[in-house]
Chains A and B, each alone.
Chain A
Amino acid sequence: MIAGLQSYLLVSAILFFIGVAGVLTRKNIFIIFMSIELMLNAVNLTFISFSRFMNNLTGQAIVFLIIAVAAAEAAIGLSIVILIFKNKDSLSVDDFDVMKG
Chain B
Amino acid sequence: MNNIFPFLPIGITLVFAIAVMLLEVLLNGKKQILAYVSLLGVVFSAITTVSLWARQTNPFHLSFFSEMFIVDNYSLFFYLIFLLCAGVCILTSSGYLIRENMEHGEYYSLVLFAVTGMMLMASGGDLLILFLGLEIMTISIYVLVGFNRYNIKSNEAVLKYFFLGAFSAGFILYGIALIYGACQSTTLSQIGKVVRAEDFAYAPMAVMGILLLMVGILFKVAAVPFHSWLPDVYEGAPTPVTGFMISAVKVASFAFFLRLFLISFIDLKDSWKDIISVIAVITMFTGNIFAFTQTNIKRMLAYSSISHTGYLLIGIASLSASPENHVADAILYYLLAYSVGSIGTFACISYLSQKDEEYVNIDDYAGVGFKYPLIGIAMSIFMFSLIGVPPTGGFFGKYYLFSAAINQGMYPLVLIAIVNSMMSVYYYLRVIAVMYFKHSDYKVTNTSGKMSTNLVLVYTLVGTIWIGMGTFTIFSIVPGATSVLEWTKVSIESLF
Question: Residues on A close to B: CB < 8 A?
Answer: 9, 16, 19-20, 23, 29, 32-33, 36, 39-40, 42-43, 46-47, 50, 54, 56, 58-59, 61-62, 65-66, 69, 72-73, 76-77, 80, 83-84, 87-88, 93, 96, 98-99, 101
Chain B residues near A (Cβ < 8 Å)? 128, 131-132, 135, 139, 142-143, 146, 149-150, 152-153, 155-160, 162-163, 166-167, 169-170, 173-174, 176-178, 180-181, 184-186, 231-232, 235-236, 290, 293-294, 299
Contact (Cβ within 8 A) A73 B166: yes
A29 and B155 CA atoms in complex are apart in Å by 13
**Closest beta carbon of chain A to B66's beta carbon, Å:** 11
- Residue in B closest to A81 when the chains form the complex, CB atoms: B159
The complex places the Cα of A69 from the Cα of B184 at a distance, in Å, of 22
CB–CB A76/B139 < 8 A: yes
When distances are taken between beta carbons in the complex, the residues of chain A under 8 Å from B159 are 29, 80, 84, 93, 96
Q: How far is the CA of A84 from the CA of B152 in the complex (A)?
A: 8
Q: Which residue of B lies closest to A96 (CB)?
A: B156
Given A58-B186, A87-B150, answer yes or no on A16-B155 (Cβ-Cβ < 8 Å): no
Determine how close the nearest CB of chain A comes to the CB of B295; give it in whole angstroms: 9
Residue of A nearest to B177 (CB): A46
In the assembled complex, which residues on chain B have CB atoms less than 8 Å from the CB atom of A40? 169-170, 173
Known: A23-B163, A50-B181, A83-B146. A36 touches B132 (CB 8 A): no
- Contact of A80 with B170 in the complex, beta carbons under 8 Å: no
Beta-carbon contact of A47 and B150 below 8 Å: no
Determine how close the nearest CB of chain B comes to the CB of A85; give it in whole angstroms: 10
Return the chain A residue nearest B173 by Cβ. Answer: A43
9 tightest A-B CB contacts, nearest first: A39-B170, A46-B177, A50-B181, A43-B173, A99-B232, A96-B156, A36-B166, A69-B135, A43-B174
9 residue pairs A–B, Cβ–Cβ below 8 Å: A43-B173, A69-B131, A69-B169, A76-B142, A80-B142, A80-B159, A93-B159, A99-B157, A101-B290
Nearest to A61 among chain B residues (CB) is B128
User: Which B residues are in CB contact (< 8 Å) with A66?
Assistant: 173
Closest chain-B Cβ to A16's Cβ sits at a distance in Å of: 6
Q: Is the CB of A59 within 8 A of B162?
A: no
Cβ contact within 8 Å between B152 and A46: no
Roughly how many angstroms separate A18 CA and B184 CA in the complex, as a whole number? 27
Chain A residue nearest to B140 in the complex (CB) = A76
